[in-house]
Amino acid sequence: MFGNWMKTSILMAGIVALFGVVGGAIGGQQGMLIALLFGGGMNLWAYWFSDKAVLKMYNARQVDASTSPYLYNMVRDLSQRAGLPMPKVYIIDEDQPNAFATGRNPEHAAVAATSGIMRMLSERELRGVMAHELTHVKNRDILISTISATVAGAISSLAQFGMFFGGSRDGEDRPNPIVSIIVMLMAPIAGMLIQMAISRTREFGADRGGAEISGDPEALASALTKIDAFARGIPMHAAEAHPETAQMMIMNPLSGGGLRGLFSTHPATAERVAKLRAMR
């Protein structure tokens, strides 16, 4: 738990610093000060409200035992097995099979599954997936992933703003336009690299924890294989509109493109499946 709090603190400090650099490139010392204040405020907002923002991005609808007894009761059973408080449960109306967890701590957590994953997976496989997401809750991965998802979008917006207005000021404190352009291009990439470092290292742990909670590593391995096969051919419109949230999913939801491998937020599926099958 301490390690994740340390990672979260480092991420927040890095976000503020990145905002400062971009602000300085756009508006000199005054721009840096404004951007630093904005970055600090953004961190506070992200801590308290980023989970709600992500769920809204995906038009997720909350369900309970009466509206979706199959998923809700499954999550309740797995939460009890994991020794966790019951999280809120959401369904996302997307055909692509995928799922994620969000929230700032286990007491304020939510898990979400797409309608596609509920149709395509067997009950055993879906239990493995939801146990994987509950492991993210138990390991307190959800705070850092949710904050990085929402703030990375803000960094990209700030960078795009700088592309239009950086280097246009007059006076002695005018920033170098070439430096400004470089910073504006690098800022969103830096945000993506932060997410990659977070997500790649935690997925193996969530796979192992999910297999232990569900008691069925083969089911989760089978689920990952199915999700990987179907997700490649079924676009997830909300994820394409908000690519900074891709690292939250159990499988990368973004369509291929030349940069898929370079900016992949997840380990190779074959490697994840091999590790799970080695647990049997």
Q: In angstroms, rounded to a whole number, what is the distance separating the alpha carbons of residues 102 and 93? A: 17
- 117: tokens are 């994953």
Burial class (CB in 10 A: 0-12, 13-18, 19+), 187: buried
Q: What is the DSSP string of 131-178?
A: HHHHHHHHTT-HHHHHHHHHHHHHHHHHHHHHHHHTT---STTPPPHH
Q: % helix / strand / coil in the chain, to the nearest 5?
A: 70, 5, 25
C-beta neighbour count of 205 within 10 angstroms: 14
Q: In angstroms, rounded to a whole number, what is the distance separating the alpha carbons of residues 109 and 102? A: 6
Active site (annotated) includes residue 133: yes
Q: In angstroms, rounded to a whole number, what is the distance separating the alpha carbons of residues 257 and 176? A: 33
Q: Pick the catalytic residue from 94, 133, 203, 244.
A: 133
- 154: tokens are 């803000």
Q: Which residues pair with 113 in a beta bridge?
A: 91, 99
Query: What is the enclosing helix (H) or strand (E) of 92?
Result: strand 88-92
**Contact criterion met (CB below 8 Å) for 253 and 96:** yes
The catalytic site residues sit at 133
